[in-house]
Amino acid sequence: MAGDPVAEKSTFLRMYMSNHPDTLVAYAKYYGKVDAPIVSAEMTAISTKTMTILCTLKSGGKQPTTITFTPPLAGYDAVKPRLLEMKAIAQEKLGMIKAPHITSFEWPNQAYPSLLVVSTVAFFYFFPEAKLAQPVLRLVGYESAKRGFQITVFLHVLESLYMLSLCRKHITGFGVGALYVGSTFLCGFPIVMDLRRRVQKARIDSVMKVQ
């Protein structure tokens, strides 16, 4: 059975991360839920599934905490981007840095298939008498097409509300936010995933600037 690719190279990772105690303290406070004041920290173990941090407390004691990677790391190459993102999130939540702002709208290519599907379902719903719609509706039935459209609208409303919460946190300006919320209502999940990808990249970029 193959070994854990991250654990096999953990010696270097533990040594490197232990030279960045400020980062480990942020991990321990946010992800490890260590409430006691921490003066220093070192990484004692890391694998594709977890990392363990040993905290030196202000009281003089030691407290270990194990943090689970969700999802597990795909391999050794996934360690750096995941740890950078986790650092940025921890620092945001702890008030050490500000959440990244997205100031422009980008239309992802992944949204085109979703837009095509939504447009097709909407066409069958609003124009059931059209010649192009008749063969399909005879096959699946108008009630099935109607339910499909209603379910799509319901899901996209939920996704739009989630997008609105992301916009309030990460987007500067009403116009860009309106474009993202409106596009999510039309296309759904692909728009949400693309914004989350941009936020992740912005987080990593912000951390890299201060390395």
Residue 8 predicted with pLDDT over 50:
yes
Here the CATH number for the domain that contains residue 56 is 3.20.180.10
Same domain? For 125 and 85 the reply is no
Q: Does residue 109 contact residue 197 with C-beta atoms inside 8 Å?
A: no
Give me the sheet containing 50-57, strands edge to edge: 38-46, 50-57, 62-68
Give the gyration radius of the chain's Cα atoms. Answer: 23
pLDDT confidence bin for 49, thresholds 50/70/90: very high
Q: Does residue 121 contact residue 154 with C-beta atoms inside 8 Å?
A: no
Of 93, 123, 150, which closes a domain? 93
The answer to whether residue 1 is domain-embedded is no
pLDDT of residue 11: 92
Same domain? For 87 and 116 the reply is no
Two tokens, residue 54: 């040993």
The whole-number average pLDDT for the span 45-67 is 94
pLDDT confidence bin for 209, thresholds 50/70/90: low
The whole-number average pLDDT for the span 184-197 is 94
pLDDT in tens, 132-180: 888 888 888 888 888 989 999 999 999 999 999 999 988 778 999 999 9
Same domain? For 75 and 123 the reply is no
Residue 28 predicted with pLDDT over 60:
yes
Q: Are strands 50-57 and 62-68 parallel, antiparallel or unpaired?
A: antiparallel
- The amino acid that residue 12 corresponds to is F
pLDDT of residue 208: 57
Same domain? For 136 and 85 the reply is no
What is the residue range of 136's domain? 111-209
Residue 36 predicted with pLDDT over 60:
yes
